Amino acid sequence: MPRFVEVFFDIDCAIGEAVKYSSAGTIEFLVDKNLDFYFLEMNTRIQVEHPVTEFITGIDIVEEQLQIAAGEKLWLDQSDMKAVGHAIECRIYAEDPANNFLPSPGKFLLYQKPIGKYIRVDDAMTEPFEVTSHFDPMIAKLVCYGHDREQARTNMLEALENYGLHGIKNNIAFLHAILSSKEFITNDISTCFCSLHKDSLLASMEKDKNSIPSLLSLSIALAFSNADHVCSNSNALWQTIGYWRIIQQPVLEINDKLFPCTIKHQNTDTLVFETENQTVQVHFTISDNKNRIELQLNGEAYSAFVSHPENGRYLISLRTHTFEVVRKDILPFPTEFNLAPAFSNESGKNISSPMPGKVIKILVNAGDEVAAGDLLMVVEAMKMENNILSPTHSTVEQINIQVGDLVDTNTTLIHLSNNT
């Protein structure tokens, strides 16, 4: 066991003995580069990160806590504690790193967690559900083990790439960027790491996302889009003479760019199509639950998560990034034509909350004049207070809510009239 770990254990025991503590607890401190220890606090419970300790010690800390609470003695002595290997924990959060880590409540469209010998996921769900604004935005704890730090890091990168979340903003790509950074690889990090490197990490995320060719998302969407229309009987008449004896010419949109395509051939595991003056051949396998696809494109193997939230729209996760592909040749559901704008309009007259939450403060009254940037109200969501600011120099014309009201993003909180 490394000497500094032994020091941790010795200090923990000394503190527990000094206060005559006889239950499970977590002692937190900071350690500087000279291995000087600075006490922070003690929590009279196990900590959120207890899976890391369990991975490297092989001890079920929750079981031990229950035994102590039942009046039983621990089955091991301090000298029996052995730390072997390395473990890393990533907190999977419903938040938007590009928007100052603002919590992102909403409904999951897809939830698929990674599995493996050196992977542990602590969560509270087995299927997609709704993340509300009433609780902490943590979705799960993803913990990976390795014989050393580098193996734990690479195992974590692979696990993050195999975590499928659709429907809400999340921090998976940001976590991947952290573990891929030079500073993390060389262990040149501190508690200020994210604040110091946020811009470069976000730029790294965007660069990695842009490196994934649109042709890949296009191929996946076409494979899924036509899979339900291809007869599973290889001897069927329609497969022999073609799909309804007409040439399919779907038009797909990715990142505001249109891709006219011509389907040449497709069966249950092969797709051939033309787009942008090139012929593309794809071999693929779609999972039984239709949430995952394995494919070969231009000699390269890929794996992706796919969800189909509505007619002609596909969300595709590749290497922690999510792409939206829309078939423009298919009519969307009628509700898309009936949705009225609910967020602040271009003139900034109708003010709404950036997320569902509870109104805890209102700082203005009807008739007040406000300048751009003035604080109008505070909405609490997911343990965070969100300041709602005036976008323009205006007059408060109408206040539609009261302190204590629960609001969502479709609620007009305040109506402003522009000052001339």
pLDDT per residue as tens digits for the range 258-315: 999 999 988 889 999 999 999 999 999 999 888 999 999 988 999 999 998 888 899 9
Report, as an integer, the average pLDDT of 232-261. 67
Active-site pick, 6, 41, 64, 72: 41
Query: What's the pLDDT score for residue 329?
Result: 81
Q: Report which of 109, 104, 111 is spatially closest to residue 132, judged by C-alpha positions.
A: 104
Highest mean predicted confidence (pLDDT) among 15-29, 51-65, 73-87, 150-164: 150-164
pLDDT per residue as tens digits for the range 170-216: 999 999 999 999 999 999 998 889 999 999 999 999 999 999 999 99
Contact 230, 267 (CB under 8 A): yes
Question: Tokens standing for 197?
Answer: 């490197």
Report, as an integer, the average pLDDT of 312-340. 75
Separation CA 240–CA 38 (nearest Å)? 75
> Measured in whole angstroms, how far is the alpha carbon of residue 119 from the centre of its chain?
17
380 in catalytic set: no
- pTM of the predicted model, to two decimals? 0.75
Whether pLDDT at 338 is above 50: no
Which residues fall within 8 angstroms of residue 119, CB to CB, at 6 or more apart? 142, 143, 144, 155, 159
Query: What's the pLDDT score for residue 254?
Result: 94
Query: What's the pLDDT score for residue 94?
Result: 92
Helix, strand, coil tally for the chain in percent (to 5):
25, 35, 40
Contact 193, 200 (CB under 8 A): no
When pLDDT is cut at 50, 70 and 90, the band that residue 242 belongs to is very low
Separation CA 1–CA 72 (nearest Å)? 28
Least confident interval from 66-70, 135-139, 321-325, 409-413: 409-413
pLDDT per residue as tens digits for the range 371-388: 888 889 988 876 677 888
Least confident interval from 18-27, 61-70, 241-250: 241-250
Domains of the chain: 1-84 (3.30.470.20), 89-211 (3.30.470.20), 214-335 (3.30.700.30), 341-418 (2.40.50.100)
Report, as an integer, the average pLDDT of 311-333. 87
Q: Report the share of the chain in percent with pLDDT over 70.
A: 87
Whether pLDDT at 239 is above 70: no
Whether pLDDT at 240 is above 70: no
